[in-house]
Amino acid sequence: MCKCLKEIEEKVKNELPINNSEYKGLEIKRAYFTGKYLDCETSKNGLGIPLKIEWDVIHKSGKEVCKKKEIDMIAKYCPFCGVKYE
Ligand SMILES: [Zn+2]
């Protein structure tokens, strides 16, 4: 298991205020991937990539309503170094 997610979060938190004028001087409290998850059985991190899905539902009144939901697609490989998540 690679350490890319943790390393990138730390790097962004520590280096963004130094290297990017838009964030100059800010003290970033946290930087984290919103799709990161922890596998309870293996205690290893992985990454879920959000995917929005939409579908139509016809109510009893006959009116069509668009429903939306966001689901996570679990990455099998690290998007940064290519190592397979176990
Ligand atoms: Zn990686």
Q: Is 32 helix (H, G, I), strand (E, B) or coil?
A: coil
Residue 46 exposed, middle or buried by CB count within 10 Å (0-12, 13-18, 19+): buried
Residue 45 has a pLDDT of 75
What burial letters (b/e) apply to 47-62, b meaning 16+ CB within 10 Å? beeeeeeeeeeeeeee
CA–centroid distance, residue 4 to ligand 1 (Å): 4
Q: Which pLDDT belongs to residue 35?
A: 85
pLDDT of residue 85: 84
With a cut of 50, which residues of the chain have pLDDT below it? none
Instruction: Measure 21 CA to ligand 1 centroid, in angstroms.
Output: 27
pTM higher than 0.85: no
Residue 82 Cα to ligand 1 middle (Å): 6
